[in-house]
Amino acid sequence: MSMETTAWMQLHSVMNAQKQNRPFARATLRRIAAFARPHRRRIIQFVLLSVVGALLAVATPVLAGHVVDAIVHGKDEGTVVGIAALIAVIALAEAALGLLGRLLSATLGESLILDLRTAVFDHVQRMPVAFFTRTRTGALVSRLNNDVIGAQRAFSNTLSGVVGNLVTLLLTLGVMLTLSWQITLLALALLPVFVVPARRMGSRMARLQREAADLNAAMGTRMTERFSAPGATLVKLFGRPDDESAEFAARASRVRDIGVRTAMAQSAFITALTLVSALALALVYGLGGWFALRGSLEPGAVVSLALLLTRLYAPLTSLAGARVEVMSALVSFERVFEVLDLKPLIEEKPDARSVPDGPVSVEFDDVRFGYPSADKVSLASLEEVAALDTRGGSEVLHGVSFRAEPGQTVALVGSSGAGKSTIAQLLPRLYDTDEGAVRIGGVDVRDLSAESLRGTLGMVTQDGHLFHDTVRANLLLARPDATDDDLWEALRRARLADLVLSLPDGLDTVVGERGYRLSGGERQRMTIARLLLARQRVVILDEATAHLDNTSEAAVQEALAEALHERTAVVIAHRLSTVRAADLILVVEAGRIVERGTHEELLAAEGRYAELYRTQFDEPADVAVCAEPGCGATPVAAEEAAV
């Protein structure tokens, strides 16, 4: 390894030292050992190869000295050729061991990445919805990418480096002391001249790197926001393109300036240290040559010492930075374990049951619930805040009770923020109740298996979320074993078959991020098709027709009629015109059910429902968006038109 390469390695280590300066954690080490245990055979093989490689690395300079001595002392050609052939064999062996070591290193590192990523991914999927509502997606993805890769380096780089460099250092020092203790001490005396400037320069370089990283992160966040479909639309509607461009260019210019300063500082540092190494070699040749001319040192020993000098600095500086590399890997492991240690609030019981066969009822029995505080479901580092918000836990549902018989439709209506969506989220167990019980088919949802619950209950939300994938893939999410005939049947019943037939690639057409290549009504019908495909017995519709125009709402309502047929349903609706036919209407206000009954009963009661009904049908603003007959007339006239 050249002195210039060694200089780069030392600079990199001290730069990392400025970033990772934390104490060892024994608990972290034990957990790392647990993750490494399945790969212990490869680790042992890897360490042994590193030791053999270190032995071969020291052997070559010694043999080179023997070649020089053989030439100087007039040995026969066979001796010189034999030593040269041995050097060639060692070179071939080093190359082969290098490839084999790289194979073991790559296999070990990638296997560890697979284990860590799978563990984090599986764990995150078990987290409650509250976790995702608080966590920044980019920070979470970083744990699966940057931190997992950082942890992997502990095995693929640091482990072999420490073992190999330690063996190389001991062997090199032993051989050099045997050849000439004076020159060896001179080489060690020059080591501080090599290391001290690196540590001083490393601090400066680390500051520059942190500033550049912060600026790049800010630019990345800005680009992510502006380049998404909603963000790009917002910028086009309200943004100032010239100002946006100027602000981005200003940050990019600062990154450029930092890049220039960093490059010049690195060049100056490497040039200085390369000069130091050249001077060290000059001193070795000069002092060694003086000893050789006086007859106290063999000429070949001078050559061996000069070659061994480069083998001495590299492991010394690498071992000096080994603690830094280990700490960097430990930090990455700790950040991964931090996510794995976050306990999911919702756990499946070991003896979880299945939902009974046949039509099922839905029941809320004196349910009380408050959203958990951030410190129970999230991490400050994932929210990118200094400390988690400890507020929360205040009750938002107060003794909610109702029952939907098999095949019945229960509608939840009321003001925004009254608790309707919260009620809906308790059914699929996105959250668990604090008190009371939610039952499906007479069984508490907390006693049901997640698989059985998913197979029984389907939900359509108002945003109609789709993945950036094909129509086929988005539908198969509901039923992976569905055939193309099943898909087309679901699309037909959702009033979407003609649209998909008109798309360029039919079922294989990519719908775009969050389904933005489709209209709002088309996205909603796609989610309804997914629901129809799943054939679930309980359906939840959470504002499924919100924000749709008249035409889209009419198409979605037709699709919903198919989805609700002979199913137990809980429907949340802001437009009261869409829930007239419900078997039971519940009026929710401030987390309580304040009224219940059919449409006619509630109108006759002249309570909150009647007030909401009159407000909707009397306001001119609703006339333009209502798709029902008689919209915009008085409540009585509207009723007559609907009949």
pLDDT at 239: 64
CB 537, CB 360: distance < 8 Å: yes
Does residue 533 carry a pLDDT above 80?
Answer: yes
- CATH of segment(s) 362-642: 3.40.50.300
CB 48, CB 101: distance < 8 Å: no
pLDDT at 172: 83
pLDDT at 401: 94
Does residue 63 carry a pLDDT above 90?
Answer: no
Give the residue from 625, 144, 136, 205 showing the smallest Cα distance to 384. 136
For strands 568-572 and 538-542, give the pairing.
Answer: parallel
Does residue 639 carry a pLDDT above 50?
Answer: no
Does residue 463 carry a pLDDT above 80?
Answer: no
Ranges of each domain in the chain: 3-340, 362-642
Does residue 334 carry a pLDDT above 90?
Answer: no
Does residue 560 carry a pLDDT above 80?
Answer: no
pTM of this structure: 0.65
CB 471, CB 508: distance < 8 Å: yes
**CA–CA dist 271, 278 (Å, integer):** 10
State what percent of residues in the chain have pLDDT above 70.
76
The Cβ-side half-sphere exposure at 471, using a 13 Å CA radius, reads: 26
**CA–CA dist 522, 471 (Å, integer):** 12
CB 448, CB 352: distance < 8 Å: yes
pLDDT at 168: 80
| Residues near 312 by beta carbon (within 8 Å), at least 6 away in sequence | 169, 172, 173, 176, 187
pLDDT, greater one: 533 or 265 = 533
Does residue 619 carry a pLDDT above 50?
Answer: no
Length of the chain equals 643
Residue 117 confidence class, pLDDT cut points 50, 70, 90: confident
**CA–CA dist 461, 454 (Å, integer):** 15
Q: What are the C-alpha distances in Å from 162 to residues 102, 157, 175, 324?
A: 16, 9, 20, 12
Does residue 637 carry a pLDDT above 60?
Answer: no
**CA–CA dist 419, 412 (Å, integer):** 9
**CA–CA dist 494, 556 (Å, integer):** 8
What mean pLDDT comes out for the span 384-411? 80
Residue 630 confidence class, pLDDT cut points 50, 70, 90: very low
Token reading at 178: 């045997």
Give the residue from 79, 90, 81, 84 showing the smallest Cα distance to 64. 84
Does residue 402 carry a pLDDT above 90?
Answer: yes
Q: Among the ranges 5-19, 163-177, 395-409, 456-470, which has the highest mean pLDDT value?
A: 395-409
State what percent of residues in the chain have pLDDT above 90.
10
pLDDT at 397: 92
Measure the CA dihedral 216/222/223/228, to 10°: 150
| pLDDT 10s digits, 347-371 | 888 889 998 888 889 999 999 998 8
Q: Which CATH number fits domain 3-340: 1.20.1560.10, 3.20.20.80, 1.10.1240.10, 3.20.20.70?
A: 1.20.1560.10
pLDDT at 629: 35
Give the containing element (helix H, strand E) for 471.
helix 471-476
Does residue 34 carry a pLDDT above 50?
Answer: yes
For strands 409-413 and 568-572, give the pairing.
Answer: parallel
Does residue 344 carry a pLDDT above 70?
Answer: yes
Task: Give the least confident one: 2-11, 514-523, 620-629.
Answer: 620-629
Does residue 245 carry a pLDDT above 90?
Answer: no
**CA–CA dist 461, 18 (Å, integer):** 48
pLDDT at 157: 66
Task: Give the least confident one: 48-57, 386-395, 534-543.
Answer: 386-395
Residue 202 confidence class, pLDDT cut points 50, 70, 90: low
Does residue 104 carry a pLDDT above 60?
Answer: yes
Mean of the per-residue pLDDT values of the chain: 77
Does residue 259 carry a pLDDT above 60?
Answer: yes
